[in-house]
Amino acid sequence: MIVVIGEALVDVVDRGDGAPQPHVGGSPLNVATGLARLDVPVQLGATIGSDEHGTRIRAHLLDNGVELVELAPPAAASSVALARLDTEGAASYEFRIIWAPERVPPLPSGACALHTGSLATALAPGASAVREAIERERARGAVTLTYDPNIRPGLLGDRDAARAEVEAIVRLVDVVKASSDDLAWLYPGERDRDVLRRWSESGPVLSIVTRGGDGAYAIGAQGEAEVGAPSVDVVDTVGAGDSFMAALLQSLHVDGLLGAYGRDRIARLEVGDVVRCLQWSVRAASITVQRPGADPPSLSEVSRSGSASAAVAPA
């Protein structure tokens, strides 16, 4: 089982052409849903309200086969994100977030990985509980730790403080994935390759940046890899990075690379194997952007989709 910790919310998507439409979302929830649709057993630790949105979230998780662990008693209201889409389908967000778990319980005995990120690792008071869980699992050494900062500038305040928090978690994890937009906000004016190289030197054995329609770039212990993305008609980009993350985790899971000593196994991945993981993940994301909201693909959908071009650079 893969355990995902983080926010579950409702995205109210405003396309500018009618009444806003609600979609269940939140980066960690989207990753958990994506994993379940890719046939990976998954548990989501989240906080959910007792309102109509909370009912919608719980039903969504149940329908998709995601096991839910509620980290706090239900609040009166669920978290909400208002997503406004531009003419190219890219989303900007406004948030009303409740994230206050007192602690993250020990992972179940069958867990092989802990994934977290986004608002769950950035917003007080819950971020401290998530950080403690990461540190605890790092010391225990029984699961692979993965992280997607999924930056939301409107909620983070001071850039320097946010950067320090992100870098502190990057140093603790085995795999990190960020978007080019995340890195551009955290490190204005720097090339994402240079940022990723620094991150790789600080701790992770696999560091990845996604570039939307330009594909993805990764640095592993054995070298660098880069893949393109298929040309598709974009409806919106909501949840695309989460579908990428879910597919990446699924690929590592299927290859038996997660769990105790997973860090060492991932570090031994040849560049060609990293390329294969990236191609699979890009294909999942490319399916998601062709339909509205965070709607990750099934295993059969990704399997039927085409492949992306690749370039490799051995260490």
* Two tokens, residue 181: 């937009």
The values of phi and psi at residue 117, to 5°, are 150, -165
Percent of the chain as helix, strand, coil, to the nearest 5: 40, 25, 35
pLDDT at 313: 47
The values of phi and psi at residue 290, to 5°, are -90, 0
**Burial group, residue 230, by CB count within 10 angstroms (0-12, 13-18, 19+):** middle
pLDDT band at 16 (very low <50, low <70, confident <90, very high): low
Give the highest mean pLDDT range of 73-82, 104-113, 152-161, 299-308. 104-113
Q: One-letter amino acid identity for 124? A: A
C-alpha angle 245-249-252 in degrees, rounded to nearest 5: 140
pLDDT in tens, 182-234: 999 999 999 999 999 999 999 999 999 999 889 999 999 999 999 998 888 88
pLDDT at 48: 93
Determine the Cα–Cα distance for residues 7 and 126; give it in Å rounded to an integer. Answer: 10
Q: Is the pLDDT of residue 239 over 90?
A: no
Domains in the chain (CATH in brackets) are 2-314 (3.40.1190.20)
Q: What is the mean pLDDT of the chain?
A: 91
Ranges of beta strands (E only) in the chain are 2-5, 9-14, 21-25, 42-46, 67-70, 79-85, 91-96, 113-117, 144-148, 175-179, 206-210, 216-220, 223-227, 310-314
Which is it for the CA torsion 153, 54, 284, 37, positive or negative?
A: positive
Going by C-alpha positions, the residue among 275, 262, 266, 174 that lies closest to residue 218 is 275
Q: How many CB atoms lie within 10 A of CB 13?
A: 21
pLDDT in tens, 278-307: 999 999 999 999 988 788 999 999 998 865
Share of the chain above pLDDT 70, in %: 94
